[in-house]
Amino acid sequence: MGPTIRNTIRTIVRRAAIAGGLEVAGGLSRAGLMAGARGQGAIFTLHHVRPKLVRAFDPNGHLEITPEFLDATLTTLKRDGNRFVALEQLPDALAAGGGPIACFTLDDGYRNNIEHALPVFERHQVPFTVFVTGGFIDRTHTLWWETLADLLATNETMRFDFGRGVETLQTRAAAEKQAAFHRVAAFLHGRDEATAIALLNAAAIEHGIDPLAITERLTLDETGLRRLIESPLASLGAHTISHRSVARLSDADARREIRESAERIEAITGRRPLTFAYPYGDAPAVSRRDHRIVADLGFTLAVTTQPGTLAARGHSRLHALPRISLNGHFQRARYVSALASGIPFRLQRRAL
């Protein structure tokens, strides 16, 4: 059995295990067990919200949900007694206590956030925060995961230098494409990110793909963001300039990325943003130093992508808050209830 087939089997097994775990968590929640796992509520994170387009190769499928699922999510949370709070108001809401809180955030500022997400939030009168990257707004930086997906989807081979000379990867079959995606992603996260992304952009251009055109096609510019925040439900948060992992940057570079992203948003909205989202947001991408920088720069709170619910009153670390990702591979309303219960994360911690 080849490595690409093994990786495919692992993906199938992993998704089945996650779905099974959500079913178990949902059952425990409905039985009234482990109620304390809910804490004070949750912050949910999304990326793309758009009608599903079936693709033979879709490595970023976990980053998109349909408008119908967003509608079902809000309906479910409302039915379960959650109160929807704007992210900027979260510290006050946590201090006040009361029923479970639900906050909504969307990362990267995709065009479909205004086309497809906004109407759903408006229909339910639910506030939300979009975290935007300065380099995407100004078309100076690229979304490497989208560039790589387009490159692999349209080519049967890919030439790339992983540091030992140019290699030709076979990318004819879907499993080969997925294996190549994971290998390039690991390369990007394992060294200087800006240099690695420049190499990927050069490879894309060599294969006839314009990475900056992808940024233009997918993300909102300043005009689009101004239209978005015409809605009183919408607000903008900072997400750096280049969307690099801040933990892997020097102190000066991390501070500059965070400060300049706040300044870029202030130029659009007329006010300093109070919220920040760490790019990638997982443990390797965020450090305690970054928490201190964000606090020093005057942000009220910052969010990670570490999964979990909001801790009991007085114990939430406001510059390292967890979020629950609404994953495109698990678009079931009952999974939303299971996630909001906090039980999957409590069980995961117990298993470690």
List the domain boundaries for the chain: 3-140+219-351, 144-213
- Whole-number average pLDDT of the chain: 93
Helices 333-340, 343-351: crossing angle, 10 deg rounding: 60
Fold of 3-140+219-351: TIM Barrel (3.20.20)
Residue 169 tokens read as 């990867």
Give tens-digit pLDDT for 147-179: 999 999 999 999 999 989 999 999 999 999 999
Q: How far apart are CA 300 and CA 49, in angstroms?
A: 27
Give tens-digit pLDDT for 282-327: 999 999 999 999 999 999 999 999 999 998 654 569 999 999 999 9
CB-based contacts of 218: which residues, under 8 Å, 6+ apart? 110, 111, 143, 146
Average pLDDT of span 259-275: 98
For β-strands 157-161 and 166-170, DSSP reports them as antiparallel
pTM: 0.94
Residue 181 tokens read as 């995606």
Q: How far apart are CA 174 and CA 171, in angstroms?
A: 7
Residue 10 predicted with pLDDT over 80: no
For β-strands 128-132 and 234-238, DSSP reports them as parallel
Reduce the DSSP state of residue 219 to 3 states and report it.
strand
Q: Are the C-beta atoms of residues 269 and 229 closer than 8 Å to each other?
A: yes
φ and ψ of 347, to 5 deg: -65, -40
* Percent above pLDDT 70 for the chain: 95
CB-based contacts of 157: which residues, under 8 Å, 6+ apart? 168, 169, 170, 171, 172
CA angle centred on 233, ends 332 and 226, rounded to 5°: 115
Q: How far apart are CA 81 and CA 278, in angstroms?
A: 29
CB-based contacts of 131: which residues, under 8 Å, 6+ apart? 105, 106, 107, 108, 109, 236, 237, 238, 239, 275, 276, 277
